[in-house]
Structure 1
Amino acid sequence: MVTLREFRRMVAEALDRLPPELLEGLDGGVLVLEEARRHGDALPDVYILGEYVDDPHGLGRYVVLYYGSFRAILGDADVKALRHEIEETIRHELRHHLESLAGVDDLDEEDWRELQAWRAEARLRRLGLRRGEGAPRRLRWPGRDPT
């Protein structure tokens, strides 16, 4: 895995490749924190790679990327895979930013549905089941093959 310094350089390079218009209104820019961030007690194995923050009383609008989460998920993945994941995460968080500016929350809803699917799968694992093994249809991954 790359060092924190190399990771920050890769993030800067990914941002340089984006049209500047996508970053307009992002008052606090893109921050890279060294820590890993987990989703919470209900999903301790789920790491948050990045998040969009709209804080009217603090830094304003900004994106945070969690270097430690990338390390936890990707481990010793090659640099190409890491670059891809950085770019995907930045695009995802910028979509949150643009939708926020437009007063739309479609991606928030998509993220919420995916989180519910993760929670459902975690419940199944605790029961010793996998998706599609005796699970009610409503607990399967939305929009994905259940096997």
Structure 2
Amino acid sequence: MLSFEEAAEYLDTVVDELPEVLLRELNGGVNIVPQVMRSNKNSALYTLGQYNKGGKLGRYIIIYYGSFKASFPGASDEMLKNKLREVLLHELTHHNESLAGIKDLEYMDEAQVAHYESTGEFLPISNFAGKEKGEQ
């Protein structure tokens, strides 16, 4: 499994390769921290990344390395890199939707967690496309 330092270096590389327009107004940047973060809604779920859309610290993304370690024990470096990239792009989607005043992905995330809580089945986020707030 990638070390914390290797994961941070990889994320820096991914961010550097992205078009600058995707990072506009992300004044707090992308940060990786060693902590494990549990989902606010269900302690059985880990939060891998989080977009923060304002306040005193501005707009920024946090990636929780500890949550990756807990969620993907024994994962190959390549698999972990793919997941890190996937989560970063997911959080950047939240950022760009926030700038546009859209909450589609936020609603999809909520529906995904609600589905898991009610059924114990974890489905890909794409299964919840087109859902309104509160729908599963």
TM-score of the aligned structures, taking structure 2 as reference length: 0.85
- 1:55 positional shift: 2.4
Amino acid at match of 2:88: I
Show structure 1 runs of 5+ residues with no match: 123-130, 132-141
For 2:14 and 2:74, how far apart are their aligned partners in 1? 20
Percent of pairs identical after alignment? 34
Q: Which residue does the alignment assign to 1:15?
A: 15
Kindly report which structure 2 residues correspond to 1:63-78, keeping only aligned pairs within 5 A, or say none.
63-78=61-76
Kindly report which structure 2 residues correspond to 1:1-147, keeping only aligned pairs within 5 A, or say none.
1-40=1-40, 43-56=42-55, 58-122=56-120, 143=127
For 1:17 and 1:32, how far apart are their aligned partners in 2? 17
For 2:101 and 2:54, how far apart are their aligned partners in 1? 15
For 2:119 and 2:94, how far apart are their aligned partners in 1? 25
Would the aligned equivalents of 1:14 and 1:86 in 2 still touch at CA under 8 Å? no
- 1:29 positional shift: 0.2
Q: Deviations over 1:35-61 (max 9, x none)?
A: 010114x622210000100122x2100
Structure exhibiting the larger radius of gyration computed from Cα positions: 1
Q: Which residue does the alignment assign to 2:134?
A: none
Moved more, 14-23 or 25-34: 14-23
* SS class of match (2:44): strand
TM-score of the aligned structures, taking structure 1 as reference length: 0.79
For 2:82 and 2:47, how far apart are their aligned partners in 1? 16
What count of residue pairs does the alignment treat as equivalent? 125
* SS class of match (1:25): coil
Show structure 2 runs of 5+ residues with no match: 129-136
Runs of 4+ in structure 1 over 4 Å off: none
Amino acid at match of 1:110: M
For 2:127 and 2:30, how far apart are their aligned partners in 1? 31
For 2:43 and 2:57, how far apart are their aligned partners in 1? 28
For 2:86 and 2:105, how far apart are their aligned partners in 1? 14
Indicate the RMSD between aligned Cα atoms, in angstroms. 1.9
